[in-house]
Amino acid sequence: MSELRGRDTLLRYSTEVRTNHWLNAICFVLAALSGLALFHPALFWLSNLFGGGTWTRILHPFLGLFMVLLFLALSARVWDQNGFAASDWQWLRQWRDVVGDREERLPEVGRYNAGQKLVFFVSVGCLLVLFVTGLAMWQSYFTVSDALRRPSSVLHAISALVLICTILVHIYAGFWVRGSMHAMLRGTVTPGWAWKHHRAWFRQITHASHPRAGSD
Amino acid sequence: MPLQSLDIIRRSATTSPSPEVRGAYTGTVAKLIDTTKCIGCKACQVACMEWNDLRDDVSTNFGSYQNPADLTDRSWTLMRFSEYENPKGDLEWLIRKDGCMHCADPGCLKACPSPGAIVQYANGIVDFQEENCIGCGYCVTACPFDIPRISKRDHKAYKCTLCSDRVAVGMEPACIKSCPTGALVFGTKEDMQEHAAERIEDLKSRGFEKAGLYDPPGVGGTHVMYVLHHADQPGLYAGLVADPRISPLVRLWKGKAKPLSLAIMAFTALAGFFHFVWVGRNEVDERDEDAARADLEGRRKPEMRT
């Protein structure tokens, strides 16, 4: 994105966070595709991407496990910044202004807006459920009773559905808000971007006592 | 065409029709297990391992004639021994040959995600095609009778085939062949029901008033049926399920949830696409950049390079 070059930029995502995010994203895509192959026969052809049905069955739990571990590390870093405040509820109530691109009417946003926080907490919840129920379904290594494995299978599918839909929204939002994708890829945003989308965060980091600005 | 069955009425994870021109026009088949005639000799177990070339590990005695303790990937049938003290205070030794029941509505087939790993033939036999099995164990999760077992060696699911290879060429299953008391009989399902009715009448005349046929309707009936002396209490026979059916959870998971989930995901993706078509991109313009700069300059200069 050439318009960002040669201009002041603010550091939004550190190299560590970006690396973790994208490893997470890769694991998610692979786990989702392999999981969908096992979930719906209409998508069984996706198992070809993993070397056939048996390899899909072997790999899927490990991909999920890597994702959970990576997300654990990511969430430890961003947990504190995702607390809900009164302004976040106001932001959510004004969801029409959000999707209608009328950002000026919304309350000032800190480092993360309520939508991003929601994505975070839905991911935490879904991954927790997917992890526990996934272990119950992992028959190569774990043996549990049918009474436990049956509800686990249903919950695994439901939480996967919720997570996939949430991440679809997350991906689209990253594409829709120009500059977000660059922020997660290269780490920086322009002052104008921060001013428009995360004004409270902009003020916080450009305050003299918090010289966290950088240049790319 | 030889070596091809052409009578597949259902195939796992498949929505288009399978080759099924050959029907079971002389009737579907059934194995009838008369628990009242069984002496627990285990000839059927031996016949099964002989015909199918299976050799299970030597097991340890756990205080019962039952051996091995449970069905395994290499023990597709098993005599289960139960000691029951009836209301008169007499001991009844109830012996039930356990194995796949070959449900008309098989939970394993419903749950299987791999196309063609489980098939149901027109004659009623439910067969695993292990070369298509991916080893996920969903059949284990779905089976109302707890029958399939995943091999520790090749991670494929195994169970009784009802000797589909023998039946296909007009022979009866190996276990039937070996039974010395006639407790095991094989024929069309209709014939087996008639035979069972005669047996039940006889049992009732001899004091077993609750004798009856076990052909559970919850799974559409089975192609392996039991004659029980206590048909009112199937649980006496090593926990035989009284009213087996595919669990509602499995029905949800491998039923309505599938198209519904796909629809929701497709809707979400389309909603994003059309949001872009209708609203367009959320962009930062020069006014935002100017405002940000003005704000910065209005306050004390932060440590930014310009």
ipTM score:
0.91
Cβ separation B141–A149 shorter than 8 A: yes
Q: What average pLDDT score do residues A141-169 get?
A: 97
Q: What average pLDDT score do residues B148-176 get?
A: 96
User: In the prediction, which pLDDT does B144 show?
Assistant: 97
- Residues pairing with B119 in the sheet: B11, B127
pLDDT higher at A6 or A10: A10
d(CA B267, CA B264): 5
User: In the prediction, which pLDDT does B85 show?
Assistant: 96
Per-residue pLDDT at A211 exceeds 70: no
User: In the prediction, which pLDDT does B298 show?
Assistant: 80
User: In the prediction, which pLDDT does A33 show?
Assistant: 98
Q: What average pLDDT score do residues A69-95 get?
A: 93
Q: Is residue A86 part of a domain?
A: no
d(CA A170, CA A194): 18
Cβ separation A178–B282 shorter than 8 A: yes
Q: How far is CA B223 from CA A66, A149, B215, in A?
A: 44, 27, 8
Question: Is residue B144 within 8 Å of residue B246, measured between CB atoms?
Answer: yes
For chain A, the average pLDDT equals 92
In chain A, which residues have their Cβ closer than 8 Å to the Cβ of B304? 8, 206, 213, 215
For residue B300, give how far its alpha carbon lies from the nearest alpha carbon of chain A (Å): 7
The CATH number of whichever domain residue A27 belongs to comes to: 1.20.950.20
| Residue-wise pLDDT tens digits, B190-241 | 999 999 999 999 999 999 999 999 999 999 999 999 999 999 999 999 999 9
User: In the prediction, which pLDDT does A6 show?
Assistant: 43
Cβ separation A38–B135 shorter than 8 A: no
Q: What average pLDDT score do residues A44-59 get?
A: 98
d(CA B262, CA A158): 11
Q: What average pLDDT score do residues B40-48 get?
A: 97
Q: Which of B12, B283, B290 to mutate to test the interface with A (most CBs of A within 10 A)?
A: B283
3-state secondary structure of A61: helix
Question: Given B261, B272, B285, which is nearest A169 (Cβ)?
Answer: B272
In chain B, which residues have their Cβ closer than 8 Å to the Cβ of A171? 272
Structural domains in chain B plus CATH codes: 8-245 (3.30.70.20), 257-298 (no CATH)
Per-residue pLDDT at B3 exceeds 70: no
Cβ separation B134–A202 shorter than 8 A: no
For chain B, the average pLDDT equals 94
Q: What average pLDDT score do residues A173-185 get?
A: 96
User: In the prediction, which pLDDT does A207 show?
Assistant: 77
User: In the prediction, which pLDDT does A4 show?
Assistant: 40
Residues 6+ apart with CB under 8 A from B174: B44, B47, B48, B50, B51, B52, B163, B166
Q: Is residue A109 part of a domain?
A: no
Q: Is residue A121 part of a domain?
A: no
d(CA B228, CA B241): 13
pLDDT higher at A5 or B94: B94
3-state secondary structure of B80: strand
Q: Is residue A31 part of a domain?
A: yes
Q: Is residue A163 part of a domain?
A: yes
Edge-to-edge order in the sheet of strand B184-188:
B184-188, B29-34, B224-228, B212-214
- Residues pairing with B78 in the sheet: B98
User: In the prediction, which pLDDT does A215 show?
Assistant: 38
Containing structural domain, residue A202: 2-80+137-214
Per-residue pLDDT at B2 exceeds 70: no
Number of domains within chain A: 1
In chain A, which residues have their Cβ closer than 8 Å to the Cβ of B255? none
Q: How far is CA B123 from CA B7, B14, B105, B167, B170, in A?
A: 8, 19, 13, 9, 12
User: In the prediction, which pLDDT does A93 show?
Assistant: 95
- The HSE-up count of residue B43 (CA atoms within 13 Å, CB side) is 15
User: In the prediction, which pLDDT does B6 show?
Assistant: 87
Instruction: Characterize A68-87 residue by residue with b for buried, 16 or more Cβ atoms within 10 angstroms of its Cβ, and e for exposed.
Output: bebbeebbeebeeebeeeeb
Cβ separation B155–A150 shorter than 8 A: no
User: In the prediction, which pLDDT does B305 show?
Assistant: 47
Q: Is residue A92 part of a domain?
A: no
Q: Which of B66, B90, B36 is nearest to B198 (CA)?
A: B36
Per-residue pLDDT at A7 exceeds 60: no
pTM: 0.92
Q: Is residue A102 part of a domain?
A: no
